[in-house]
């Protein structure tokens, strides 16, 4: 029997239990991957553009095309934008984790926008407080995904791009995707009665198309996040509101901690830089110093 070459190109839209689901524009093929990927530690990721050999009984991913980027947590490739999703309540926002994720986005040159969900559970004052922290620096939208509210604010950012929704379990990432698509396609979980946290309902990454154009990755929630391998003197560039003041301090190489005549600290003191973001920057500097100390 002569095997005909039957190579198709498509995008991995789901990876689950050793199978890769490849959308070739016509249909979604359930594929295995060539063993060689795993051996080289180059496992295909959701978002990868791949070649599939569909001539045998089981289609096989034979080639992963060059990526624009890739991430381990969550495991995704070719992300054009991060949507950092938090609940305003249940669970409470974790600003340290949000900021680490924003640093990671800056570090990888991927734009980020903030989405605060469950606005039905928050007071006007609480919403204003969140705006005060991030509103001058990042696009920020407030949603009530469970009732499909606020999607018209979010959609303009999503059109024509591949955006990864990331954030803690229970924040409402899957609910947001269902609200955007107006159908129940991503599984939604409860909030634990005991500690008001999510229950890690989403366990795999999946890419969903939007009928308006563009697509969104649903990802599993996380509770902590490690800073990327950013150097101490580069951190100032990962906080856009601090970046503006770089070069204006008395000392070259000022880390904006306790140096005299520091333009950044002054800006934080007089409210030009949000004090919470400045103290977040300081915490990250301490974290990097701690990490360097423990390295040797």
Ligand X SMILES: Nc1nc2c(ncn2[C@@H]2O[C@H](COP(=O)(O)OP(=O)(O)OP(=O)(O)O)[C@@H](O)[C@H]2O)c(=O)[nH]1
Query: Where does this chain bind ligand X (CB under 6 A)?
Result: 117-118, 120-121, 144-146, 169-175, 188-191, 198-202, 220-221
Residue number with CB closer to ligand X (108 or 192): 192
- In DSSP terms, 216 is beta-bridged to 163, 208
List the end-to-end C-alpha distance of the chain, in Å, as a whole number. 60
Nearest CB to Zn ion, comparing residues 45 and 262: 262
Per CB under 5 A, which of residues 158..187 are in contact with Mg ion? 173-174
Q: Is-contact 221 198, C-beta < 8 A?
A: yes
Out of 86, 104, 178, 202, which residue is the one contacting Mg ion (CB under 5 A)?
Answer: 202
133 binds Zn ion (CB under 5 A): no
- Long-range contacts from 261-267, C-beta under 8 angstroms, 24+ separation: 264/236
H helices of the chain, in order, are 35-39, 95-107, 124-134, 151-158, 173-181, 240-243, 263-269, 275-295
Among 71-79, 84-92, 98-106, 199-207, which window interacts with Mg ion (CB under 5 A)?
A: 199-207
Q: Output the smallest distance, CB 283 to ligand X, in A.
A: 25
Between 117 and 280, whose beta carbon lies closer to Mg ion? Answer: 117
Asked whether the beta carbons of 240 and 102 are under 8 A apart, the reply is no
Compute the radius of gyration of the chain from its Cα atoms: 21
Between 11 and 171, name the residue whose CB sits nearer to ligand X. 171
Minimum distance of Zn ion from residue 136's CB (angstroms): 19
Rounded to whole angstroms, the Cα distance separating 91 from 78 reads: 29
Closest distance between ligand X and the C-beta of residue 64, in Å?
A: 26
Q: How many angstroms separate the CA atoms of 259 and 250, rounded?
A: 8
**Would you count residue 191 as binding Zn ion (CB under 5 A)?**
no
Nearest CA to 176 out of 136, 212, 219 is that of 219
User: DSSP letters along 197-258, please?
Assistant: -B-----S-EEEE-TTS-EEEE----S--PPPS--GGGGGGGSHHHHTTTT-SSSTT--SSS
By the rule CB under 5 A, 14 interacts with Zn ion: no
| By the rule CB under 5 A, 117 interacts with Mg ion | no
**Which of 249, 267, 268, 288: binder of Zn ion (CB under 5 A)?**
249
Q: Check the CA dihedral 36-39-45-48 and report its sign.
A: negative
Identified binder of Zn ion from the candidate list 12, 88, 166, 254, rule CB under 5 A: 254
| 200 contact, one of Mg ion, ligand X, Zn ion, none, CB 5-8 Å limit per kind | ligand X
**Nearest CB to Zn ion, comparing residues 209 and 276:** 276
Q: Output 130 or 238, the one with its CB closest to ligand X.
A: 130
* Residues contributing to the site for Zn ion (CB under 5 A): 249, 254, 256, 262, 264
* Residues contributing to the site for Mg ion (CB under 5 A): 173-174, 201-202
């Amino acid at each position: 029997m002569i095997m005909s070459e039957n190579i198709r190109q498509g995008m991995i839209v789901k990876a689950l239990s050793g199978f890769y689901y490849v959308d070739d524009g016509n249909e979604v093929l359930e594929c295995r991957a060539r063993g060689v990927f795993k051996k080289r530690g180059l496992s295909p990721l959701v978002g990868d553009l791949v070649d599939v050999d569909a001539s045998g009984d089981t289609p096989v991913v034979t080639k992963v095309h060059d990526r624009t980027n890739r991430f381990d947590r969550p495991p995704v490739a070719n992300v054009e934008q991060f949507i950092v999703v938090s609940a305003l309540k249940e669970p409470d926002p974790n600003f340290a984790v949000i900021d680490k994720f924003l640093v990671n986005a800056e570090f990888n040159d991927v734009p980020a926008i903030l989405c605060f969900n469950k606005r039905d559970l928050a007071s006007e004052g609480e919403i204003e407080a969140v705006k005060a922290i991030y509103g001058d620096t990042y696009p920020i939208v407030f949603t009530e995904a469970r009732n499909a509210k606020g999607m018209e604010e979010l959609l303009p950012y999503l059109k024509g791009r591949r955006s990864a929704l990331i954030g803690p379990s229970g924040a409402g990432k899957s609910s947001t995707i269902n609200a955007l698509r107006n159908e129940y396609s991503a599984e939604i979980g409860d909030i634990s009665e005991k500690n008001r946290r999510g229950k890690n309902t989403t366990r795999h990454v999946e890419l969903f198309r939007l009928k308006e154009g563009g697509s969104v990755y649903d990802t599993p929630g996380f509770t902590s996040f490690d800073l990327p391998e950013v150097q101490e003197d580069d951190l100032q560039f990962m906080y856009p509101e601090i970046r503006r003041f770089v070069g204006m301090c008395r000392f070259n190489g000022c880390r904006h901690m306790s140096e005299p005549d520091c333009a950044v600290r002054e800006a934080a003191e007089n409210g030009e830089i949000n004090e919470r973001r400045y103290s977040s920057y300081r915490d990250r500097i301490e974290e990097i110093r701690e990490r360097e100390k423990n390295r040797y």
